[in-house]
Structure 1
Amino acid sequence: MRVPGNLLVALCLLVGLASSRGAVAQNAHVPVIKLAQLQHYLNSSADTTYIINLWATWCKPCIEEIPHFEALQKQYANQPVKVLLVSLDFAKDLDKKVIPFVQRRQLKSTVLLLDEPDYNSWIDAFDPAWSGALPATLFFNNAKQQRLFVEKPLTPALLQEYLSTKFSLKP
């Protein structure tokens, strides 16, 4: 059977679009984790300053501050500083919302999706005073017994202030 030229071109374009979408989705890997997996970081004894930002795609202040965390990751790339962007979106929204968001923003920091729908069962792991509001950020270095929890949007100036005064880090 002979396939008309314009149909063949259309089929090739469709196959190309489908394969390119698959390739893009593979580049934005966002593991879905449980609290036990996040505890690996929370309990780390390494002399590393962790910055765990809790955010969601539906939270406007969260989205506005993400570039600041990306800049920190780049700025402290040669120091023991690790930025984790932990999405609190629903796991069912991973492919529809979270991965497209990560792709559009070209995020370089580690992005994880915490799939723990019963917030009351794990909120205290971050800070007993946390109301559950977003954005929220936990800074810690367990080796140096340093910890700071902030439940508000952060500016680049505040981030630098916290890292330099509380954690003695210089860019």
Structure 2
Amino acid sequence: MKLKSIFLCFIFLGFVSCKKGTSKIENEAINTPAITVKSYTYNELKPLLEKKDDKIYVINFWATWCAPCVKELPDFEKLNKEYTSKNVEVLLVSLDFPKQVDRKLIPFIVKKNLQSKVVLLDDINEDVWIKAIDSNWSGAIPATIIYNKNKRKFYEQSFTYETLEAELKTFLKE
């Protein structure tokens, strides 16, 4: 009888602690912002790289596993914040692995509080889309395109905020 009571006590304690754990997880899920990252093939992304309106577009190709990319992201975020009112749009095109979006990319976006639009380029034909984006692109990242309806420039390099803003200003003068 004593053994049965001890066993029932363990079951009860296990149930109570599991119930508590579930509540905590549910609360954390409720407090976490719902973020989705849209996946694009190159053909779906292409229209975003060729708009002919009055905006200036800054398109950055990056990945969470690329240290120079991660280092420069705050500069793109700052540019987005400071120049949105000047008709500038920043788009962050992630080249992360599609199977790791939920496990790596979305938690990274939340942790870094990225406010720029983030999309995932999910296209295995990199031999095609790399050259289509820029014929001189080796495929290395970070890489950036700045363009408007009259001018387009491709950069296979890292940026500081100062160099990024200086390049953007050449487009603002037009």
Give me the TM-score of the superposition, normalised by structure 2.
0.85
Does structure 2 retain, via aligned residues, the 8 Å contact 1:25–1:99?
A: no
**Is the aligned partner of 1:88 residue 2:95?**
yes
User: How far apart, CA to CA, are the structure 2 residues paired with 1:53 and 1:46?
Assistant: 19
> Identity over aligned residues, as a percent?
37
SS at match of 2:61: strand
What's the offset of the Cα at 1:102? 0.5
- Which runs of structure 2 are paired with 1:63-142 in the superposition (5 Å)? 63-142=70-149
Unaligned runs of 5+ in 1: none
What's the Cα RMSD here? 2.3
SS at match of 1:52: strand
Unaligned runs of 5+ in 2: 1-10
2:24 to 13, 16, 21: 16
Does structure 2 retain, via aligned residues, the 8 Å contact 1:87–1:113?
A: yes
User: How far apart, CA to CA, are the structure 1 residues paired with 2:12 and 2:119?
Assistant: 47
What's the offset of the Cα at 1:5? 6.9
Which is richer in helix?
Answer: 2
Number of residue pairs aligned between Structure 1 and Structure 2: 166
What's the offset of the Cα at 1:19? 5.4
Does structure 2 retain, via aligned residues, the 8 Å contact 1:146–1:167?
A: no
SS at match of 1:112: strand
SS at match of 1:122: helix
User: How far apart, CA to CA, are the structure 1 residues paired with 2:30 and 2:144?
Assistant: 32
